[in-house]
A and B are shown apart, each in its own frame.
Chain A
Amino acid sequence: MESRRFLRTLAGAGATALLPGGGNAARHAPSLRYLRPPGALAEADFLANCIRCGKCGEACPNRCIKYFGLENGLDSLDTPYIVPREQACILCMECGQACPTGALEQLRREAGPIMRSVKMGHARVDQSLCLSYQGKTCGVCYRACPLQDVAIRVGMLEQPQVLAACVGCGLCERSCIQIPQAIRVIPNRDGAPA
């Protein structure tokens, strides 16, 4: 009887720590700007489906997928994330192929399916930092983009403009030669728009 009461207390404590509300507070901590791998379901679904097997990271040829410890809350423990400034996603879609549970969607490596089903975030240019907007022709982000002229285009002096089709892979942010970077991906964790 004693051990059963102990277990019930333990289960209660665990449930409190793992309640979605508790996770939300940590998830929206302003200091953490991370992306989920491409094709990830909306955050709540993603957390429910991810079995923390680590196969997405093992499939990633670019080694951009890393894993959370406790810094993003208990419910994000061991889930994959990408910090594009450190290493951005090359949209090879290997992680989705490796995911056993569909937490990451299986997608072909073609522009159509990727633009339809991948929405990791959206890049935003800070014009006060961007060299091109300061009169020093650059254009590196445009050249790094895997969806040139579809997700990003450049105007006069290679001034970048991000378009609606941006999937948020972060290769522009990775390649930006300004420090700090003048283009950043604002994460989207609601999955792809229906």
Chain B
Amino acid sequence: MNAADEQPFFLWRHLNRLRWLTLSLVFALLVLLPFLHLYQTYVAAHAYDFLAPGERLIYDAMEWLTGPFTSDPARDLDAIKGTTWSGNFFGLALSDPLALAGHIAASLSLHWAFVLSALIPVVATIIFGRFFCGWICPATFIYELNETFAAWLRRAGVPLGDRRLSKRLKYVVLGAGLVLCAVSGSVIFAAIYPPALVGREIYYAIAQGGFGVGAVFFLLTLLFDLLVARRGFCRYLCPGGALYSLLGRYRLFRIRRIVHNCNDCVKCNVVCEFGLDPMRDGFGQECNNCSACIAVCPVDALTFKVGVRDDPAQGPGHQGSAYRRRRQREDESDTGAAA
């Protein structure tokens, strides 16, 4: 096939919708699970007659929802438990690699069952890069909605912050956090890591009678994103994002630009949540393969590739104005020479 005819696989541009589906499903699950837990406790207590009207509503709704699938809620509904920080999924224990790193630093020991539970996420991150940030993280779900909200505010003329800080800050946060874990003997990431906070605070709000301290911190990060830096926490501060970026440095699946199709319109750079530079082949270890740039590209110039390194910079897009001007000059000089 002629390189100039290369087109991306047609499904890639719909991948962003699939991503939103998984983000929404994970978030919905985190909301559903505490209700299921409450239902389990009501069943275990044989207490339907003693439930308050609100609790009875939860009981009825959850019974209606799960009734067709289970006759023993106490046992069967244990299939999915926990959050993205650490959870069980149909017998498979899964934990956030940052939880493992923090636990090792704080306890200075290895708990093998816990190490194993982080194995699948670590391997998946080595292969797919920082995909957790774009595809699963329940905080991303809220941060991206926050970003949409910020776009409305900007359109209404509200001045919001759009500072660029150093992306290396988050590696400092990760390193300093690990040192603090070891010094304090406490997994302090749990108190500042947004996905852990979101999962836990949803659970607190539904099953423990109200939001906890973490919700305040999470609100502050939302304000930071609005007032200081666009997607600032994920880009510049998140220790989990830093760990995933390091693990995903030599990921196998990455996005690349088809320079023949590119017209240098900059839509990809504008839409990139992590402030990367797809238009100049600047993906790097922090790309989370969210595919938003592929979905927004009007000329099918972005696609996936398999390989452990990004393509080297390819210069301006061949459909772009710089390219067209140069070609025009060359054509004119050709005709001039012929004359």
Which residues of A pack against B, CB within 8 Å? 3-4, 7, 10-11, 14-15, 18-20, 44-45, 47-55, 57-63, 66-67, 69-70, 75, 77-78, 98, 100-102
Contacts and interface: CB of A to CB of B under 8 A. Distances in A.
A48 B106 contact: yes
Q: Name the residue in A48, A53, A57, A70 with the highest tally of chain B Cβ atoms < 10 Å from its Cβ.
A: A53
A77 B81 contact: no
Contacts of A49: 103, 106-107, 111
B86 A18 contact: no
Nearest to A100: B86
Contact of A100 (B34, B74, B117, B199): B117
A100 B208 CA distance: 21
Given A49-B107, A52-B191, A54-B199, 10 more contacts: A11-B179, A11-B180, A18-B183, A51-B102, A54-B83, A55-B88, A59-B81, A61-B41, A62-B44, A78-B200
Interface residues of B, number: 54
A193 B37 CA distance: 33
A78 B217 CA distance: 13
Contact of B180 (A15, A60, A70): A15
A46 to B, nearest CB: 10
A7 B170 CA distance: 11
B212 A51 contact: no
Given A52-B196, A52-B200, A58-B37, A98 B81 contact: yes
Contacts of B191: 52, 77-78
Interface string B164-177: 01100100110010
Contact of B82 (A53, A62, A102): A53
A2 B214 CA distance: 28
24 contacts: A7-B176, A14-B180, A14-B184, A18-B180, A48-B185, A48-B186, A49-B106, A49-B107, A51-B102, A52-B191, A52-B196, A53-B83, A53-B87, A53-B190, A53-B200, A54-B82, A54-B199, A54-B203, A55-B82, A58-B37, A60-B41, A62-B41, A63-B207, A67-B208
A99 to B, nearest CB: 9
B103 A51 contact: yes
A11 B175 CA distance: 11
B187 to A, nearest CB: 5
Contact of A52 (B37, B114, B187): B187
A149 to B, nearest CB: 27
| Chain B binding surface SS class | helix
Interface of B: 33-34, 37, 40-41, 44-45, 74, 78, 81-83, 85-88, 93, 95, 99, 102-103, 106-108, 111, 113-114, 117, 165-166, 169, 172-173, 176, 179-180, 183-188, 190-191, 196, 199-200, 203-204, 207-208, 212-214
Nearest to A4: B172
A78 B166 CA distance: 31
Most buried by B among A52, A60, A67: A52
A55 B111 contact: no
Contacts, number: 134
A7 B103 CA distance: 22
A38 to B, nearest CB: 17
B81 A55 contact: yes
B177 to A, nearest CB: 9
Contacts of B99: 51, 53
A57 B187 contact: no
Interface centre among A3, A14, A18, A48 (most CB of B within 10 A): A48
Contacts of A10: 176
B87 to A, nearest CB: 7
Contacts of A55: 81-82, 86-88
B186 to A, nearest CB: 5
A63 B41 CA distance: 7
A4 B75 CA distance: 51
A55 B106 CA distance: 19
Contacts of A48: 106-108, 185-187
A70 B188 contact: no
